[in-house]
Amino acid sequence: MRFATGAVLLIIVAVLAGVGVVAFTGDDGGTLSERWVSDTGRDMKGNHHAPAAATIGNQSFVFAPISDRGNGTGCGLFALNGETGDTVWKYQVPPANCTIHAVADPTVSDFDGDGTQEVLAASTEERVTAYDVLSGDEEMRHELDEYGYTKPVVANLTADSEPETAVVDVQGQLSLVRTNGTELWSRDLGGMVWARPMADDFDADGSNELAVGVTPGGGSHVRLLDGNNETVWKNDDITGSVLWMGYGQADDDPAIEISVATSDGEIVVLDGADGSVEWRRSVGDLAAVHDITDGDGDGTPEVYAVSREGTLFALDATDGSVEWETSLTTETQMTPPPIVGDVDGDDETEIVAATNDGKVTVVAPDSGNVLATYERSVPIYTHPALADFDGDGAEEIYVIYGDGRVVSLSYES
C-alpha cells in the first residue's frame, strides 16, 4: 500500500506481531520454497515500498528500499545479490532523514541513454538520485521540494531523442528532469500523489505521455500530461483517494487503458484516448490493482483487483464483469495488488498475491484456485517483484516484509 500521512498512515502503525515460525503450505498445485532471506531486518514493521529486480550484465540485483525507526541508522537503498541475498552495496540515508518513508520504490532504467541501466530512487533527503548499479556511485541527483513517495519514471516524453525522468514528491510537485539533473519544467498537481506515475503512448498519437493520480482535499483525479507540461485530458470522476494505478490494453482500440483503485473500493478503467470512464466496479474498501493483462491466456485481458479484507477478483477488462473471486486470507488491514508472471517456467502465467498478514500466494489465473502459500508472521504492505535470474524460464519472487527483510521464493508446480 502506498501510505503517506493522515488517516491512511494509521493503518501502518497498527502493525502485527513480531517474527514467528516460517511456514510453507501447498496443495496439489505446487510448492513455494524459500531461496534466501536478506539480513536487512529492522526493529520496526512498517516497510512498505516495493523492491526492484534486474539483471545488469552478468550480475543479478534486487534493489530494496529499507526504512528504520526515526533517526535510526538502518535507512537506505540496498543492492542485494539476486542469487544469495547478500548486500553488494548500500546507500545509507542519514539518521536525520531516517523515517518510515526513507526511500521510495526504486526503478531500474537507462535514464541517461548511455546503454547501461541505472537504479533511481527518491528519498526523504528531498531528492531523486540515480546510482551506478554495480558500485552505488551517484550519477545524477535532482532536488525536490518535499520527500519523494513514488517511483521515478524514465521515458522519452519530449521531442528530442534523450529520455527524461519524471518524479513527483508526496505533495504533488511534478518535475521533468534532464539526464544531467536539471529541470525541464515543474508543475504543482494540487494534491498528494500515492499511486505510481506511468509513462506510455496512452492516447496512441505516436508520443509518450505521463499519467498521474492525484488526491487533493477537494476530490481525486487522474491527469494525462505530455512532455511540454500540457494537460491532454483530466478525469475528476474518481471517488476516494487514488491509491494504486496500472495500465494495459483492455479493448480493441489503439489507446492504452488505465486502471485506478481507490480507498473507497472502486476500480475504474479509463480510456487512454480521452480519459473517459469505460467501466467502474466496487470491490471493497482500500482496493488495489496493478497492470491490465491477459493472465489466463484466453484472449481477453483481465484486471486483477483486491479488496482490503483479502478477496482477489478477476475482472474482465473490457466491461468489469467478474470472472471469478477467491479469498486469500481472513484477517488483514489492507492487501497490496497482485502481480502476474510465469513463476514455474511453463510458458503460462500465474498470479502472485501478497497479503498484509504475511502470506505470499500463487493463484491459478483461470480459476482463482490457490496453488501454494508461503507465510511469515510479519506484515506485508506492498507487492513483490518477479525476475528470472537463473535462466530456467521461471521467474523468482522477491517480497519485502514490514521488518525490512527481503525474501526470495521459487515456485514449482
Grid cell, residue 270, equals: 479509463
| CB within 8 Å of 11: residues ≥ 6 apart | 1, 3, 333, 334
State the fold for domain 18-412: Methylamine Dehydrogenase; Chain H (2.130.10)
Residue range 206-217: mean pLDDT, rounded? 93
Distance between alpha carbon 135 and the CA centroid of its chain, in Å? 25
Query: How far is it, in rounded angstroms, from Cα 383 to Cα 377?
Result: 17
Grid cell, residue 24, equals: 510453507
Handedness of CA 51, 55, 56, 58 (dihedral sign): positive
Least confident piece of the model among 19-33, 153-167, 396-410: 19-33
Only one residue has cell 533517526, namely 71
Query: How far is it, in rounded angstroms, from Cα 263 to Cα 308?
Result: 9
What 3 state SS string does 99-164 have? CCCCECCCEEECCCCCCCCEEEEEECCCEEEEEECCCCCEEEEEECCCCECCCCEEECCCCCCCCE
- Closest by CA to 404, choosing from 33, 133, 4, 18, is 18
| Bridge partners (DSSP) listed for residue 183 | 177
- Do the beta carbons of residue 361 and residue 370 sit within 8 Å? yes
Per-residue pLDDT band for 238 (boundaries 50, 70, 90) equals: very high
Q: Cβ-count burial of 406 within 10 angstroms (0-12 exposed, 13-18 middle, 19+ buried)?
A: buried
The DSSP bridge pattern shows strands 76-81 and 311-316 to be unpaired
Residue range 351-359: mean pLDDT, rounded? 97
- Do the beta carbons of residue 139 and residue 160 sit within 8 Å? no
Share of the chain above pLDDT 90, in %: 90
Query: How far is it, in rounded angstroms, from Cα 293 to Cα 247?
Result: 9
pLDDT at 71 exceeding the cut of 90: yes
Over residues 283-335, the pLDDT tens digits come to 999 999 999 999 999 999 999 999 999 999 999 999 999 999 999 998 789 99
Residue range 29-35: mean pLDDT, rounded? 93
pLDDT score of 92: 97
Over residues 98-115, the pLDDT tens digits come to 999 999 999 999 999 999
Instruction: Give 15 or 349, the one with higher predicted confidence.
Output: 349
Query: How far is it, in rounded angstroms, from Cα 28 to Cα 47?
Result: 33
pLDDT at 14 exceeding the cut of 50: no
Residue range 154-182: mean pLDDT, rounded? 95
- Closest by CA to 351, choosing from 337, 364, 360, is 364
Q: Cβ-count burial of 372 within 10 angstroms (0-12 exposed, 13-18 middle, 19+ buried)?
A: buried
Residue range 182-210: mean pLDDT, rounded? 96
pLDDT score of 352: 98
- Do the beta carbons of residue 354 and residue 336 sit within 8 Å? yes
| Bridge partners (DSSP) listed for residue 282 | 266
pLDDT at 216 exceeding the cut of 90: no
- Do the beta carbons of residue 195 and residue 150 sit within 8 Å? yes
What is the reported pTM?
Answer: 0.93
pLDDT score of 161: 86
| Bridge partners (DSSP) listed for residue 52 | 63
pLDDT score of 275: 98
Radius of gyration of the chain (CA): 20
116: phi then psi, degrees, rounded to nearest 5 = -125, 135
- Closest by CA to 121, choosing from 95, 89, 148, 92, is 148
10: phi then psi, degrees, rounded to nearest 5 = -60, -25
pLDDT at 384 exceeding the cut of 80: yes
